[in-house]
Amino acid sequence: MSAKPCQLLVHHASGVVSWNDAAPADANSVVIDAGKVVEIGQEADLRAAWNPTQELDAEGGLVVPGLIDAHVHPVFAVGRAEEFDWRAQGVEYLEIAKRGGGILSSVRNVRAASDENLLGKVRSHFRRMRRHGTTACEGKSGYGLSVESELKSLEIMQMAAEAEGMPLYATFLGAHMFPEEHRENPERYLDILCAEMLPAVKEQGIARAADIFIEEGAFNQEQARRYCECAKDLGFALRIHADQFHEIGGTQLAVEMEAECVDHLESLSDAGLEALALSGKTFAGLLPTVPHFLRQKIDAPARKLLQAKVPYFIATDFNPGSSYTPSLPEAAHFARIRLNLTAEEALFGMTLGAARSLGIEAQKGHLGPGADADLLVLDLPDLFHFGYAFGENPVSKIVIGGKVQAKS
Ligand code: NIG
Ligand code: FE
């Protein structure tokens, strides 16, 4: 029988993590055709059956599905490095926000930035994520907080994603914080969110989900309920920030609203955990670099969540204020150190777990036959080494949609 033509053969891997039960445990090669995974197996067997146009030597590295970052705030113009010094002097995150810093300082910068400047920044954020192995991401607006600036943020995010070839699942985060001009009359901003912003975003079709920050000093449970109902009525999926610093019923509301996910959870209560366990649908979004970056001593109760079979993902929360890292491998290190997850659990959370939370698991997050051929070669001898080192990038080669990416 003659060998069939195919697009690409990735070979000489130390192993292939595919999350696909049909793939043999001793696989070291992947066959790709028309941008999709076709077969995983032993190099000699695959070479007998396939005649590849192109080959990629994994050079003894580990092949894994492309990483998916399911919680990112990429639309910011400048960093907030000075806050780092304030925090060193003991000023806490919510206190900085109260003084008009934090999220509102990023809002001022985004509003002032030209489209060209902002586009350049967002593109560079996507490139930095890509270099660390992110091959698809969710991305939030949330530093505009006006009809005009939120629409601008979502449009620019989409343009940047297209320009950088980053598959993007966009989320509208107009309810990140009350903007300065509505601080005295927050209900007016809620009216604008519900009557103007959500419908405008819907009409333009530039976000699949809506998000809200439920927290003291941001949105309370009652305000969040109104926003979530408006968003749901318009057909948005919900992805929610809650239980980061204070437990004010955000997780319970997320479950009640059948949100796709509720993220942070460092202050999750037993009642919140129970609600998530009963739901079985709403994902826990674990962001283990955040408490590190904010010098907090608490972490999300990841082991309890996993034990209760709550579906989960792990993300970077890449943003200028609470997690200034574009690197999912770095997040894996923190997941192992601070959340007590295994390497396998960490990798799962940023591949198939993340894909499931976004409803894209038919195509992404694993290397089963027919899946998009988005994969990485990691310079690691085995899966135990994933998240073991920190401060260095293990990604040596990237394939997206079957195309080998040039180093950027
Ligand atoms: O997920 N907690 C709310 N929002 C972001 C931080 C945004 C910022 O500080 O700029 C987060 O941590
Ligand atoms: Fe966030």
Nearest ligand to the C-alpha atom of residue 171: 2
The ligand that comes nearest to the alpha carbon of residue 175 is: 1
Bridge partners of 57, per DSSP, are: 11
> Measured in whole angstroms, how far is the alpha carbon of residue 127 from the centre of its chain?
15
Domain boundaries, the chain: 4-65+366-405, 67-358
Are 20 and 65 spatial neighbours (Cβ–Cβ below 8 Å)? no
User: Which uninterrupted H or E stretch holds 395?
Assistant: strand 395-400
Residues with CB under 5 A from ligand 2 (ion): 317
Three-state DSSP at 99 gives: coil
Burial 4-38 (b: 16+ CB within 10 A, else e): eebbbbbbbbbbbbbbbeebeeebbbbbbbeebbb
Torsion of CA 23, 29, 32, 38, to 10 degrees: -20
Cα(65)–Cα(20) distance, integer angstroms: 11
Phi-psi region of 300 (alpha: psi -120 to 50; beta: other; left: phi over 0): beta
Asked if 167 and 69 touch (Cβ cutoff 8 Å), the reply is no
CB-based pocket (< 6 A), ligand 1: 73, 102-103, 106, 213, 241, 244, 290, 317, 319-322
Q: Of all protein residues, whose CA lies closest to atom 6 belonging to ligand 1?
A: 322
Ligand 1 atom closest to 244 (CA): 2
Report the candidate in 180, 47, 38 with the shortest Cα–Cα distance to residue 106.
180
Cβ atoms of 277 and 312 closer than 8 Å:
no
**Alpha carbon of 192 to ligand 2 centroid (Å):** 22
Q: What is the DSSP letter of 384?
A: G
* Nearest partner of 244 among 275, 213, 282, 219, judged by Cα: 213
Tens of pLDDT along the chain (408 residues) come to 689 999 999 999 999 999 998 789 999 999 999 999 999 999 999 999 999 999 999 999 999 999 999 999 999 999 999 998 999 899 999 899 888 789 999 999 999 999 999 999 999 999 999 999 999 999 999 999 999 999 999 999 999 999 999 999 999 999 999 999 999 999 999 999 999 999 999 999 999 999 999 999 999 999 999 999 999 999 999 999 999 999 999 999 999 999 999 999 999 999 999 999 999 999 999 999 999 999 999 999 999 999 999 999 999 999 999 999 999 999 999 999 999 999 999 999 999 999 999 999 999 999 999 999 999 999 999 999 999 999 999 999 999 999 999 877
State the DSSP code for 12.
-
Question: Ligand 1 test: best mutation among 319, 323, 324, most atoms within 8 Å of CB?
Answer: 319
Helix (H, G, I), strand (E, B) or coil at 80: coil
Hey, which residues does 175 pair with through a beta bridge? 212
Among 72, 75, 87, 213, residue to substitute to test ligand 1 (most atoms within 8 Å of Cβ): 213
- The number of the ligand 1 atom at minimal distance from the alpha carbon of 103 is 10
Centre of ligand 1 from the C-alpha of residue 83, in Å: 13
Q: What is the pLDDT of residue 1?
A: 62
Q: CATH homologous superfamily for 4-65+366-405?
A: Urease, subunit C, domain 1 (2.30.40.10)
Shortest-distance ligand to the CA of residue 243: 1
Domains 4-65+366-405 and 67-358 share a fold: no
Would you state the pLDDT for residue 99?
Answer: 81
Q: Whose CA is nearest to atom 9 of ligand 1?
A: 321
Cβ neighbours of residue 392 closer than 8 Å, sequence gap 6 or more: none
SS3 26: coil
Q: Which atom of ligand 1 is nearest to the CA of 215?
A: 2
- This prediction has a pTM of 0.98
3-state secondary structure (DSSP) of residue 312: strand
**244 alpha carbon, closest ligand:** 1
**Is it true that domain 67-358 has CATH number 3.40.605.10?**
no
The Å distance, Cα 319 to ligand 1 centre, comes to 7
Question: What is 214-257 written as a DSSP string?
Answer: BSTTSB-HHHHHHHHHHHHHTT-EEEEEESSSS-SSHHHHHHHT
C-alpha dist (Å) from residue 12 to 16, 42, 57, 226, 376: 10, 9, 6, 54, 13
Distance of CA 50 to the CA centre of its chain: 35
